[in-house]
Amino acid sequence: MRRVVFNQKGGVGKSTITCNLAAISAQQGKRALVVDLDPQGNSTQYLLGGNASPPEVTLAEFFEQSLTFKLDPIKTIDFAVPTPYPRLSVMPSHPRLEELQSKLESRYKIYKLREALDEIAGNFDHVFIDTPPALGFFTRSALIAADACLIPFDCDEFSRNALYSLLANAEEIRTDHNHNLKVEGIIVNQYQPRANLPQKVVQELIEEGLPVLQPYLSASVRIKESHERATPMIHLDPRHKLTQEFVALYESLGAKKKKEKKEK
């Protein structure tokens, strides 16, 4: 199962959600892979630690390799770097991805990520793809490579207005490039249940029939400590309320998938 965490707005928790769901997947016995397509590399730093030695190979080398012919190319599986956590790997980002984007677009390498993930499909049970805050080459590559799309939503009117555009973009990719892609759900992030506006906005989304997932993820200072320590919540504080919300969200995605298979 491949999931892309997608939103064109920055600061909505894409990397946090990607890494914490992947860490829970691995902690529950699945072989999980995070693909960090954001040149900022937040998921890479979160899982490997800012003070860790730089990975020998990153996605920059992967995409550069796709632009040139090599007699002895690096194998796709070698781009999946083990993290300190059992069964959890990451394809690391690199700032050089940004300068590669125009070359990759002009050479129409938009399907390379999907081909690579197809090649290593037997090595991982779950793949979570983190994307940049823009609908550029890397985000489109991720949507083409994924089975499902998760959209983080941070409960303000700007995010709500942008949400309809996100859904339309996902539908366009589904129609033109990836008929298997579906919007699996909207993840309500940094939710404050005592504030009136978040309650109102989320309820209106539900009434519109949009796939809002449960539970909502609470706002918490603890997540900032998780970032600072480069330790996903399931390993930093398994009993914390936010950790349990992540676990419940992960399990709800699994239950939803089983239900859909049964209905087919």
Burial-class residue 8 by CB neighbours within 10 Å (0-12, 13-18, 19+). Answer: middle
Average pLDDT, the chain: 94
pLDDT, one tens digit per residue, over 244-255 is 999 999 999 988
173 token code pair:
């990719």
**pLDDT (average), residues 200-222:** 95
pLDDT, one tens digit per residue, over 165-187 is 999 999 999 999 999 999 999 99
User: What is the C-alpha separation between 64 and 55, in angstroms, rounded?
Assistant: 16
What proportion of the chain, given as a percentage, has pLDDT over 70?
Answer: 98
94-97-100-105 Cα dihedral, nearest 10 degrees: 150
Q: Which residues sit opposite 152 in a β-bridge?
A: 187
**pLDDT (average), residues 184-197:** 92
pLDDT, one tens digit per residue, over 33-72 is 999 999 999 999 999 997 777 899 999 999 999 998 887 8
**The whole model's pTM is what?**
0.95
Report the greatest alpha carbon distance in the chain. Answer: 61
pLDDT value at residue 54: 81
DSSP 81-142: EE-SSTTEEEE---TTHHHHHHHHHHTT-TTHHHHHHHHTGGG-SEEEEE--SSSSHHHHHH
pLDDT value at residue 20: 98
Cβ–Cβ under 8 Å, residues 193 and 199: yes
**Which residues, 6 or more positions from 45, have their beta carbon under 8 angstroms from its beta carbon?**
230
User: What is the C-alpha separation between 18 and 92, in angstroms, rounded?
Assistant: 13
Three-class SS of 6-25: CCCCCCCCHHHHHHHHHHHH
pLDDT value at residue 264: 63
Comparing C-alpha atoms, which of 10, 18, 59, 33 is closest to residue 187? 18
pLDDT value at residue 194: 85
